[in-house]
Amino acid sequence: MDIQEVKQTLRGPMIPVITNLKDDLSVDHEAIHQNVRYVVDHGIVKGSGVLLAAGAGGDFPMLALDERKAVAKTIFDAADGQAPVLVGSQDTNVDNCIAMAKWADEIGAYGIQVSPPFYFGPSDDDVVNVFRAIHDATERVALMVYNTWWEGTDMSLELLERVFELPRCVSLKWSTATLFGRYLRGLAKFADRLAVVDNHGMHVMNRMMGGTGYITHLATVWPEHDLGVWALLEAGEYEAAQKKIQDVNWHWYDFRVKMAGRTGGESATIKAALELCGRPGGPARLPSRALTADERAELRDVLVEIGVPTVQA
């Protein structure tokens, strides 16, 4: 794959799209479509944003395989070619990883997100074999390698080198257990030949060293803010970008971390924030739960404090 084309495509704020549910906990495809159109219509488009379908932010562990496929298709269709779509292809079952990867190929998604195997701790050879099996089962899609170090495997730079020998492994969603020992060294090593997407909260350093984007859940709620951060990063105005991140993203992140101590999953806070802004949110499947009235009130105060303009009274 042409790495310069990849870098221009996997660029800007990368949004893990939530999976909206109806009251009966079935998937609400209409709400998903509406939320995707909102962020696309507000500027999350090729060159300035990427959509990640059916990843952890989309509660993939709580979805059946057929539901994951249907969610990915809804997001891809809603993007309507305006924003690149990556499909989450992680699973404890490699056959399911391959099935999601082949589905991404079939529907026309730009690429997939794949992590090392989890639950059973893999050897380096195991990791390479899994990535190779997924790569070789597909024909076209780009592969974004996701270093999920909190699941037990913090990929060494040597292991990453082996994985990136696969021709369509062209992107790295990058976070590590150590900032200097591995994160910065990984950036220095790979940013010239991969699209490196920050997942470590180091948006400014990532861009300064050649990275192409960063993960943001806030952009689901307030895309204009993260697009503003990205514009500053692209312009090299790093101090101004860092100030916006500290004034806004850090406060949002702190509340999300607080909620993570009270319920599992990633989407409950985002769903509540969407509802507070008059957009579709919806319930959660176990083990997640919806925010309580007191938690929603606290979240509303956070949204007002950081300046989200669409918060309803």
Written as one string, the DSSP assignment of 192-260 is: TTSEEEE-SS-HHHHHHTT--EEE-SHHHH-HHHHHHHHHHHHTT-HHHHHHHIIIIIHHHHHHHHHHH
| Residues above pLDDT 90, as percent of the chain | 99
pLDDT in tens, 138-173: 999 999 999 999 999 999 999 999 999 999 999 999
Average pLDDT over residues 165-189: 95
Q: Which residue's structure tokens are 């079952």?
A: 93
Average pLDDT over residues 28-47: 98
pLDDT in tens, 229-251: 999 999 999 999 999 999 999 99
* C-alpha span between 34 and 46 (Å, rounded): 19
Can you give the pLDDT at residue 78? 98
Average pLDDT over residues 128-144: 98
* C-alpha span between 108 and 51 (Å, rounded): 14
* C-alpha span between 104 and 60 (Å, rounded): 15
Average pLDDT over residues 116-136: 97
pLDDT in tens, 91-101: 999 999 999 99
Is residue 62 scored above 90 in pLDDT? yes
Average pLDDT over residues 20-30: 98
* C-alpha span between 206 and 212 (Å, rounded): 8
Band (313; pLDDT cuts 50, 70, 90): confident
Q: Residue 239: is it exposed, middle or buried by C-beta count within 10 angstroms (0-12/13-18/19+)?
A: exposed
Q: Is the peptide bond before 287 cis (omega within 30 degrees of 0)?
A: yes
Can you give the pLDDT at residue 180? 85
* C-alpha span between 234 and 48 (Å, rounded): 10
Cα–Cα nearest to 145, from 103, 101, 204, 84: 101
- CA 125 vs. chain centroid, Å, equals 26
Is residue 34 scored above 90 in pLDDT? yes
**Token pair of 227 as six digits:** 């697009």
DSSP, res 166: S
Domains of the chain by range and CATH? 3-236 (3.20.20.70)
The whole-model pTM stands at 0.97
Average pLDDT over residues 306-311: 98
pLDDT in tens, 243-276: 999 999 999 999 999 999 999 999 999 999 999 9
Can you give the pLDDT at residue 181? 84
- The CA-based diameter of the chain, rounded to the nearest angstrom, is 55
DSSP, res 171: E
Whether residue 176 contacts residue 154, with contact meaning beta carbons closer than 8 Å, is answered with yes
**Token pair of 103 as six digits:** 């589905």
